[in-house]
Amino acid sequence: MDVTTLLILIVIFVIIASIANMIHELKYKIVFYMVIALASLTIMNIYLAITYYISLRDDPGIQGPQGNTGPQGVVGAPGHCTYSDTCGIQDARNLILTSANQLYNISTQCLDTPTLTTCLNQSTLDQATPINAQINLLEQIAYTTTMAKTDFMNKINICLQDSEQCTEDVQF
C-alpha cells in the first residue's frame, strides 16, 4: 500500500469518526457503525475481486483430468496424406522419368541428366533440356504433395504433355 492510499483511508476514517460524533443516540450510533462496517467489507471485497481477477486472468491454472472420449470423426479421403510426417510420393523422380520416357521416347538417362554424351545427338539434347526442367519441378512438387499416387501420376502426364498447364503455382 502506498502513501496516497494510506492518506485517503485516514481521511475517510476521520470523516466517518466526525459523523459518528454528531450522532448522540446509542441505537443510531450502533446502526451507523454496522452500516459503515458492511460498506467497508463490501468495498474491500470488490477491490480484492478486481485485483485478483487482474492478476490471475492470464494464469492457465492446474491441468484437470482428461474428459470422456468423444465420437469418432468422419473418415478422410483415401490416399490423401494430410496428417502424416511422410507426405509426398516416394521415389518420385523414377516415376516421373518413366512417364516422360514413355511419352517422349527419350532414354531415362538423357532425361535425367541431359548432356551430349547421354543424349547421343544435339536434337535429342535440345528436346530433353526443357523436359528435364519440368521433371525437376514435378519432383519438388511430388515430395510435398498430399495427393494420392495415382492422382499425382495423372497430373504428371498432363504436365509433361503441356508444360503451360503446369507451373510452380499450380495447385496439386
Q: What is the DSSP letter of 121?
A: S
pLDDT at 49: 93
Q: How far is it, in rounded angstroms, from Cα 105 to Cα 97?
A: 11
Nearest to 109 by CA among 121, 97, 93: 97
pLDDT at 84: 46
pLDDT at 79: 57
- 104 versus 167: which is more confidently predicted? 104
Per-residue cell: 102: 514413355
Do residues 128 and 111 touch, judged by C-beta distance below 8 A?
Answer: yes
Residue the block writes with cell 500500500: 1
Q: How far is it, in rounded angstroms, from Cα 135 to Cα 93?
A: 8
pLDDT band at 42 (very low <50, low <70, confident <90, very high): very high
Mean pLDDT of 51-58: 89
The tens digit of pLDDT for each residue in 80-100 reads 554 445 566 777 888 888 888
Do residues 13 and 6 touch, judged by C-beta distance below 8 A?
Answer: no
Amino acid identity at 100 = A
Query: pLDDT above 70 covers what percent of the chain?
Result: 86
pLDDT at 168: 53
Do residues 172 and 139 touch, judged by C-beta distance below 8 A?
Answer: no
Do residues 99 and 156 touch, judged by C-beta distance below 8 A?
Answer: yes
Do residues 133 and 108 touch, judged by C-beta distance below 8 A?
Answer: no
Domain coordinates in residue numbering, the chain: 3-53, 92-165
Do residues 152 and 170 touch, judged by C-beta distance below 8 A?
Answer: no
* Helix (H), strand (E) counts: the chain: 7, 0
Worst-scoring range by mean pLDDT, 46-50, 73-77, 96-100, 135-139?
A: 73-77
